[in-house]
Amino acid sequence: MTIYDIAELAGVSASTVSRVINNKPGIKESTRQKVKALLREYNYTPDENARGLVNKNTKLIGIMLADIRSAHHTDLTYVVEKYLRNKGYCGIILNAGSKTEEMEEAVRLLEKRRVDGVLIVGSVFQNDRVKNAISKHFANIPVVFANGEFNLPNVYCVIVDECDGVERCVDLLIQKQKRNIAFAGTLDSPSSQEKLKGFKRAMIRYGNSEEALVILEGEASKESGYQMTQELLEQHPEIQGVIYSEDLIAAGGMRAFWNAGVKIPDEMAVIGIDNTIYGELSCPQFTSLDNKMTEMASEAARILVDAVEGRQNPRKIMLFSDIIEREST
């Protein structure tokens, strides 16, 4: 069923049908009604792709993230998808993994689809390979980078003050009389580096020497959190508080403390990052740094649609994280 079929049935030309569909003026009311009736009767729907071919847009938005299964990204994706759809766009979500080749592959794929704009989520994408891929393949469409930065003319950035946030986490622990604090988690992404920077800065501010800081590196899994925490208990009995780079890792840590019979928060204070549901599910519930993922999602989606539709916005927006205190501090 095409506009030609409808046109024939209505005894008019295809352009008339097109005009009716798009609510253009200058159509006799009786014609309009006749065509509308036919459109309904055959429940005709315009082919959005064919439309895009002539309109030079696809109403498609690419969403690149490493892995949608990480809870904070799931929430973000949900918010973004809802917003986009409300504005008449469809999101194409790509699990681009954490290897640069996969990321480049994802970029090429979105180029093939001629998406109107791209949302990149997660600082793991903040590397030269991806930056080059973007300036090469997305040169003419707006890109919003959530939780990362690219200094490119068509890229908007929405970031969170994770560095400051972690500093405030340290402040909180100190205030709770926990002077010996460790940092445990992933260290490889730019985001992790920001968190670590905040940790170091605050700890040094409280008189610790950088060399003496207890920093454990692991992966983004609860198993890794468990393992790092066991190591911590064995090798650093002086530690009174831990900041984990992600809630999921903290959840693993909480279990290790639980199994070891460590009393939370009396013997050990714990803070996670992301403020996902994991913090609420743990026993006891743990404090987490809310890095405003849902707020970031709505800002990013809004800015992207604005850019696609020609409305301007600041190239960089900074959100402020918040500590959500629970039983672990």
Partner DNA sequence: TTGTACGCGTTATCAG
Partner DNA sequence: CTGATAACGCGTACAA
Three-class secondary structure of residue 206 per DSSP = coil
Q: Is 47 in the site for its own copies (CB under 8 A)?
A: yes
Task: Report the distance separating Cα 281 and Cα 289, nearest Å.
Answer: 16
**Beta carbon nearer to DNA, 31 or 208:** 31
**Beta carbon nearer to its own copies, 166 or 251:** 251
Query: What is the DSSP track for 121-183?
Result: ESGGG-SHHHHHHHHHHSTTS-EEEET-----TTEEEEEE-HHHHHHHHHHHHHHTT---EEE
Record the tokens describing residue 16, joined without a space.
Answer: 């008339």
Three-class secondary structure of residue 65 per DSSP = strand
Record the tokens describing residue 327, joined without a space.
Answer: 């039983």
Q: Is 77 in the site for its own copies (CB under 8 A)?
A: yes
Applying CB under 7 A, the span of 51-59, 79-87, 243-251, 272-280 interacting with DNA comes to 51-59
Applying CB under 8 A, the span of 81-89, 200-208, 297-305, 321-329 interacting with its own copies comes to 81-89
Out of its own copies, DNA, none, what residue 277 binds, judged by CB under 5 to 8 A for its kind, is: its own copies
Task: Report the distance separating Cα 149 and Cα 314, nearest Å.
Answer: 13
Q: Is 95 in the site for its own copies (CB under 8 A)?
A: yes
Task: Please pick, from the candidates 33, 37, 50, 277, the single residue that binds DNA as defined by CB under 7 A.
Answer: 50
**Beta carbon nearer to its own copies, 258 or 317:** 258
Closest CA to 178 of 243, 123, 225: 243
123-126's contacts with Cβ under 8 Å and 24+ in sequence apart are 123/147, 123/148, 123/189, 123/190, 123/191, 123/192, 123/194, 124/66, 124/98, 124/189, 124/190, 124/191, 125/64, 125/66, 125/96, 126/150, 126/189, 126/190
Task: Report the distance separating Cα 290 and Cα 294, nearest Å.
Answer: 10
Out of DNA, its own copies, none, what residue 15 binds, judged by CB under 5 to 8 A for its kind, is: DNA
Applying CB under 8 A, the span of 20-28, 169-177, 274-282, 320-328 interacting with its own copies comes to 274-282
Q: Tokens 């696809």 map to which residue?
A: 58
Task: Please pick, from the candidates 281, 311, 314, 318, the single residue that binds its own copies as defined by CB under 8 A.
Answer: 281
Task: Please pick, from the candidates 8, 31, 135, 149, the single residue that binds DNA as defined by CB under 7 A.
Answer: 31
Task: Please pick, from the candidates 37, 41, 53, 260, the single residue that binds DNA as defined by CB under 7 A.
Answer: 53
**Beta carbon nearer to DNA, 40 or 56:** 56
Q: Is 54 in the site for DNA (CB under 7 A)?
A: yes
Binding mask 2-41 for its own copies (x = CB under 8 A): ----------------------------------------
CB of 137 to DNA, least distance (A): 14
Three-class secondary structure of residue 293 per DSSP = helix
Task: Report the distance separating Cα 268 and Cα 180, nearest Å.
Answer: 10
Task: Report the distance separating Cα 192 and Cα 173, nearest Å.
Answer: 19
* Contacts to its own copies from residues 134-163, by CB under 8 A: 136-137
Record the tokens describing residue 205, joined without a space.
Answer: 């501010």
Out of its own copies, DNA, none, what residue 283 binds, judged by CB under 5 to 8 A for its kind, is: its own copies
Q: Is 229 in the site for its own copies (CB under 8 A)?
A: no
Binding mask 166-185 for its own copies (x = CB under 8 A): --------------------
Q: Give yes or no for a contact between 65 and 95, defined as CB atoms under 8 angstroms apart.
A: yes
Binding site for its own copies (CB under 8 A): 43, 45-50, 52-53, 58, 67-69, 74-75, 77-78, 81-82, 85, 90-95, 108-109, 111-114, 136-137, 222, 251, 255, 258, 277-278, 280-283
